Amino acid sequence: MKCDLHIHTDYSDGKYPPARVVKFAYDAGLTHIAITDHDTVCGVEEAMEYGKKYGVEVIPGIEFSSIFEGKDVHILGYFIDYTSPFVKNYLARLKKERENRAMVMVEKLNNMGYDIDFERVKEIAQHGALGRPHIAAALYEKGYTSSKEEAFYGLIGNDDPAYVPKFEVSVPNAIDFLRKSGALVVLAHPGLIGDRETALKVLEFNFDGIEVYHPKHSESDIDFFRDFALRNGLIITGGSDFHWFTQDIRIGVMEYNCKKTLEELYKRRRSNVKQTR
C-alpha cells in the first residue's frame, strides 16, 4: 500500500482540479489518498468518482483552520460526512466570512488609491477559498507590486494598513465540528505550529492521530511526534501537503508504513460508525 493523506485541489489553494490530482496519484503508484482542502469539501465527490476510474481509494477529508493562543492550528478530518446538510451549512458560513473579509480588504485598498475590483479578485480565486493570495494576485496584475509576495509586506500582511483579521475558530470548536461531522481528527503538521510546547498543549485535546510525516518536518520533529503518538495510542499519519509540484513536494513524496496507518484509520472509523448508530 502507498498513500498520501494530505492533498489539496483547486477547490482551496491547490493548482489542479480533483480529476488531475487523482491521475497524478495513480501515476505515482498510490493506492490511497485523502483530499484535504482548506475548510471545504467541494472537491471530494469529483475526486472519489475519478478514484473509482483509476483504482485509487479516495478518503473524504478536510483541513480545518483553527486558532490556539494566537497561533494557527490546522486539523485534518478524515471520513468527514461531506454530503450532510450540517457540514455544508457550516462550511458555507465560513466561506461567507472569508468573502466578507476579502471585500473589506479590497475596500480599504480602494480607499488607499489601489484600483482593484472585488469581482476580479473572485475571478482569480475561481472556486477556491477566497483569501489574501487572490487579492495579492490582483494587486500584482494591476502593476501595484513587483510580485505577489510583495503585497504581503506593507499592504495586506498582518498589521498592515489594509489587513482585516480573519474569522477565528478555536481548536475545541473545530474538533467539535469535525466530531459531529463523523470525522476522525488528526493534528496537521504539528512541527509548524511554532514551538513544541504549544503543540503539546494542543494535543491535550481529543485527537485520534498526528500527522508525523510531512515534507517540512525535520528528522527531529518526526522522531519527537512519532514517539509521542506511540506512547499515547494515536494514529500516525503523513502526507505531502501537495498544492502544486515543487522540487521537494510532490504527491506521494513521504514514505512511511501506510499499511499500518490505513488499518488504524479504517478500524477507528468502523468504531465511530458503531458508536453513532
- pTM (predicted TM-score): 0.91
- Evaluate whether residue 133 is within a structural domain: yes
Domains identified in the chain, total number: 2
Report how far apart, in Å, the C-alpha atoms of 9 and of each of 3, 40, 241 are.
16, 10, 10
Residues 259 and 190 in one domain: yes
Domain CATH code at residue 32: 3.20.20.140
Residues 72 and 33 in one domain: yes
C-alpha cell at 42: 467541494
**Residue that is last in its domain, among 135, 152, 169:** 152
- Evaluate whether residue 211 is within a structural domain: yes
Phi, psi of 267 (to 5 degrees): -65, -45
CA 98 to CA 127: how far, in whole Å? 13
- Evaluate whether residue 20 is within a structural domain: yes
Residues 65 and 138 in one domain: no
Residues 201 and 64 in one domain: yes
Helix (H) or strand (E) holding 200: helix 196-202
C-alpha cell at 180: 459531529
Is residue 219 pLDDT above 80, yes or no? yes
- Evaluate whether residue 238 is within a structural domain: yes
Question: pLDDT tens digits, residue range 132-170?
Answer: 989 999 999 999 999 988 988 889 998 899 999 988 999
Residues 80 and 94 in one domain: no
Question: pLDDT tens digits, residue range 53-105?
Answer: 999 999 999 999 999 999 999 999 999 999 999 999 999 999 999 999 999 99
Residues 8 and 77 in one domain: yes
Beta bridge partners of 35: 7, 60
Q: What is the pLDDT confidence band of residue 247, given thresholds at 50, 70 and 90?
A: confident
Q: What percentage of residues in the chain have a pLDDT greater than 70?
A: 98
Residues 79 and 14 in one domain: yes
Q: What is the pLDDT confidence band of residue 276, given thresholds at 50, 70 and 90?
A: low
For the residues 255-272, what does the mean pLDDT come to? 93
Q: Give the domain extent around 224.
A: 3-84+181-276
Residues 216 and 241 in one domain: yes
Residues 51 and 131 in one domain: no
Residues 186 and 77 in one domain: yes
> What pLDDT shows up at residue 118?
97
> Among candidates 95, 29, 20, 30, which has minimal Cα distance to 62?
95
Residues 70 and 94 in one domain: no
- Evaluate whether residue 157 is within a structural domain: no
- Evaluate whether residue 166 is within a structural domain: no
DSSP 31: S
> What pLDDT shows up at residue 264?
96
Average pLDDT across the chain, whole number? 94
H-type alpha helices, 70-162: 85-111, 118-125, 132-141
CA 155 to CA 53: how far, in whole Å? 45
**Residue that is last in its domain, among 134, 152, 170:** 152
Question: pLDDT tens digits, residue range 126-138?
Answer: 877 788 989 999 9
Question: pLDDT tens digits, residue range 2-30?
Answer: 999 999 999 988 889 999 999 999 999 99
Q: What is the pLDDT confidence band of residue 213, given thresholds at 50, 70 and 90?
A: very high
Torsion of CA 111, 127, 141, 105, to 10 degrees: 20
- Evaluate whether residue 160 is within a structural domain: no
Q: What is the pLDDT confidence band of residue 275, given thresholds at 50, 70 and 90?
A: low
Domain CATH code at residue 133: 1.10.150
CA 34 to CA 47: how far, in whole Å? 9
Q: What percentage of residues in the chain have a pLDDT greater than 90?
A: 84
Beta bridge partners of 196: none
In 3-state terms, what secondary structure has residue 253?
Answer: coil
- Evaluate whether residue 168 is within a structural domain: no
Residues 61 and 95 in one domain: no
